[in-house]
């Protein structure tokens, strides 16, 4: 039995009350599903700026009505401190996922990114402190490493920010550190490295690369690779991110609080390699995909060339142990995207009859 298995068993026997912000989003909805499966009481908040009601409907179908009854939803905005206070009331733990993601989006609209990622974050810190939550766990990002050339990325060594998004996440870490020293709050920051998995939105100008490519291939379109395809990333499957959040909230190690942690696998995959994995997995379901080759476009402004995480801090202090490599995560993700695509097609046909 792993450390995370023991934590899950303990949680099932002693339910807590959790607040998940951004609960209708990709990561938030996966956290909601995992916590409800563990018979936890969950409050969720979202303003649906990037989250979707259908994600909540999907979780409801997955967990069943009995477990769904342990969930309370507040439609609210982290930019409104009264909404934050209402959502935090009575919570044992906060898993703060609400934010405006995407480096390109932040370059296009830095004001909106700052409003959600900095002002909203500060509101949540204040509200969580007033509610005396036991631990405030929040989504940071590998983007804080900026132009640092060092690999693997170690938490105490960062470079200059390359985008407003990266700056907003760095400011989160600075604010959290101040609140620990001034207000004695306990927090954990999780620096996500290229998270992927079910319910990640494939549409829109700021869609992440994995769902966007899967969606293109499912629709027999040529996926676009930015640059020469030799850019590399440490891709992390959503179930390992769920693990990290729960461990971060419940870790009782004396040294675990008030630190930032890399959340990744600790391995690099180039975009060309990633394309090969996605096509190989899809071909099992749709053989015609084998004939679709990608197109290459320009490099994206604000992107780093290579990213690889050192996960030893999370392993040693939180007990984090990723269970999925990128290939295993891709296969599970594609199974979900194909099932979801077929479900949507059936629903569309039913409404057109």
Predicted pLDDT of residue 352? 61
Contact indicator for 238, 27 with CB cutoff of 8 Å: yes
φ/ψ region of 75 (left if φ > 0, alpha if ψ in -120 to 50, else beta) reads beta
Q: How do residues 200-245 score in pLDDT, each as one tens digit?
A: 999 877 778 999 999 999 999 999 999 999 999 999 999 999 999 9
- What domains are defined for the chain? 3-192+238-264+310-323 (3.40.50.720)
Q: Is 138 a catalytic residue?
A: no
Choose, from 145, 165, 320, 337, the residue flagged as catalytic: 165
| Cα dihedral 174/137/98/76 (nearest 10) | -110
Percent of residues, the chain, with pLDDT higher than 70: 97
Q: Which burial class, exposed, middle or buried, applies to 264 when counting CB atoms under 10 A from its CB (0-12, 13-18, 19+)?
A: buried
Q: Please determine, for residue 112, whether its predicted confidence score (pLDDT) is greater than 70.
A: yes
pTM value surpassing 0.85: yes
Confidence band of 19 (pLDDT split at 50, 70, 90): very high
Give CA–CA dist 73/7, Å, rounded: 25
């Amino acid at each position: 039995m792993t450390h995370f298995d023991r934590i899950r068993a303990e949680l099932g026997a002693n339910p807590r009350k959790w607040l998940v912000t951004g609960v209708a989003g990709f990561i938030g909805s996966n956290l909601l599903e995992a916590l409800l499966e563990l018979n936890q009481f969950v409050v969720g908040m979202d303003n649906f700026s990037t989250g979707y009601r259908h994600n909540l409907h999907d979780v409801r179908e997955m967990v069943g009505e009995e477990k769904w009854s342990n969930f309370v939803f507040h439609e609210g905005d982290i930019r409104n401190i009264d909404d934050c206070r209402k959502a935090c009331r009575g919570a044992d733990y906060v898993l703060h996922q609400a934010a405006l993601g995407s480096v390109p989006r932040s370059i296009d609209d830095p004001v909106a990114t700052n409003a959600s990622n900095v002002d909203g974050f500060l509101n949540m810190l204040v509200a969580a402190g007033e509610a005396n939550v036991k631990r405030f766990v929040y989504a940071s990002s590998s983007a804080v490493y900026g132009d640092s050339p060092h690999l693997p990325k170690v938490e105490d060594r960062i470079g200059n920010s390359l985008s407003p998004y990266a700056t907003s996440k760095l400011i989160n870490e600075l604010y959290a550190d101040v609140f620990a020293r001034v207000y004695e709050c306990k927090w954990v920051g999780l620096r996500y490295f290229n998270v992927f998995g079910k319910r990640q939105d494939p549409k829109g100008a700021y869609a992440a690369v994995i769902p966007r490519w899967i969606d293109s291939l499912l629709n027999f379109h040529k996926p676009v690779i930015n640059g020469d395809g030799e850019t590399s990333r440490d891709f992390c499957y959503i179930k390992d991110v769920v693990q990290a959040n729960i461990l971060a909230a419940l870790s009782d190690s004396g040294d675990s609080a008030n630190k930032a942690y890399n959340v990744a696998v600790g391995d690099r995959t180039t975009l060309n390699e990633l394309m090969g994995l996605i096509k190989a997995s899809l071909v099992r379901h749709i053989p015609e995909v084998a004939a679709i080759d990608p197109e290459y476009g320009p490099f994206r402004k604000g992107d780093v060339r290579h990213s690889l995480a050192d996960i030893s801090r999370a392993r040693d202090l939180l007990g984090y142990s990723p269970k999925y490599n990128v290939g295993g995560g891709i296969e599970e993700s594609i199974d979900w995207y194909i099932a979801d695509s077929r479900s949507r097609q059936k629903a569309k046909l039913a409404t057109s009859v």
